[in-house]
A and B are shown apart, each in its own frame.
Chain A
Amino acid sequence: MKLIHLSPPLDEEDIKKLRVGDLVSITGRIVTARDKAYARVTSGAKLPLDLRGGVVYHCGPLAKRTPDGWRIISAGPTTSARLDRAQGEFIRRTGVRALVGKGGVGGEVAVQLARLGCIYLAFTGGAGVLAAGAVEKVERIYWEELGPAEALWVLRVRDFGPLVVAVDTQGGNLYFPRSPEAFSQVHRQRPHRRL
């Protein structure tokens, strides 16, 4: 399959061309953010760097401090859905154009993403060493006081991927249940009714 190369900062045109199922790789700067950083941004904290057109990676890396600086050991994606409630607000405040994570976002969040011109890229969960191999350098760490997993890690990556476009700006969402019958059947007969 063809691999589409992206280099942030991205503009709306770069993003609009992408469709669910496309494979993407990223070279350039990406920034990690998860629960605590999201909470800080959505409560109005000033961003320590410009994220407009940027790529945010849902990840809490495992890293080791060495005499030459930080070395990333394992850095796969975390579950993006934990950030669902803050997602729309985070994108509005930061202007990011692409999220990288795993497990997808909720249906309503996917609609918000399309409206805000932001795509969702899936990296294989658990593939931490593979992801670490794409990191050329830890450029900086902001908000280190949040703890190593929750800080903003500014990473320079080369050929980070392959990432699957899983939510696009045209309403495509790979996580939408492919067997809606099975899904609704299960939910109609919810087995955990109160006795």
Chain B
Amino acid sequence: MTLPTATIMAAVTYSVFVLFGIILLLFLALVVLRIIMARREGELERKEEEIRPLIYEIISDQDTEKEAYRKIRSYISVVNRVALERVLLECARVVEGPEMELLSYLFDQLGFVDEDIENVQLAHNSKKAESAYHLGVMRAARAVPFLINALSSDNRDVVFASLNSLSRIGTPEAVRALVEHISRDGDIEMMRIAEIIPSHAEAFRPTVREWLETGSVDVRRQTFLIDLGGAMMDPLSVPLLARYMASPDDLVRTHAARALGGTGDMSASGPLMQAMSDPSPAVRVAASDALGRLRCEEAIGPLMDGLSDRAAEVQMSCAFALNKMGNDGQRALDDGIATAERQRAPSRNQGQADLRLMPGPGDAS
């Protein structure tokens, strides 16, 4: 029996050629694409470079709106629209005040706002999100109704970009829509909301306080609400948060301690100092972190005691907290360390049991 060597070879050769062809084509396609893209990008960059000086001049010289518009129309040809938009956007990202108002006017008059509004309604999702985002950068008040509509999209990026833009535009109508949407939708990207809310803290504070009052059965949402409460820097929320310090769940207590530290209000120091004797080490860690954040000098005493806490992580967080409290704190820390060392020296065999820590999401600093 002889093997059909020839056919095997042929088959192998054939398949090798086919595969080779595919790979080669792919490679060539990539090279071509790359070259095309390099050209396009290069051109765009060049146009942007040409346009920039004029735009900078217009912004700096504080031309009137009409004057600025006229200049742009006469010096920048229609061909460079894309470059123009990019330059204007990059300026809009960094300025505010009268300069931003001028830019908003220009975006509108030049038709960019209309374009983006159209995209927000009709384009595919990633373009929608991008346009929604740009409308915020442009502070296009006219776009608010359309952005509100976009909130009912099922694409998260679109919704978030719209929320973000509504927040930036900040007209009463926009903020109202924001608050409404966030209150209604229980499952919205929780952490991302926090990026928007603080810039409209006043509008949101009542809502957040309400949430804190009612609470939630879902632990995850509960802890999120507590976190949010802390982020609002609202003195009125301190008593509400303090109530959570009595929760039987130590995860909730940990978050509450953390949030109290975030409020930035000294009235939170009372409940926090009490929490320094909480049975759970994670809560004590959060409380000491929070006291450090608040820079509460009254707490120097309890924190010094914490340096000899039975849990090592509490010792550390107290040290951190004291370190943040300026000269008094640091001196107290030095004293405290010396004392703790002396206490520790005789009984060196205090073995460290492997503590199963409640991995509280520590934070501070």
A in complex with B: no
- List chain B positions with a Cβ less than 8 A from chain A: none
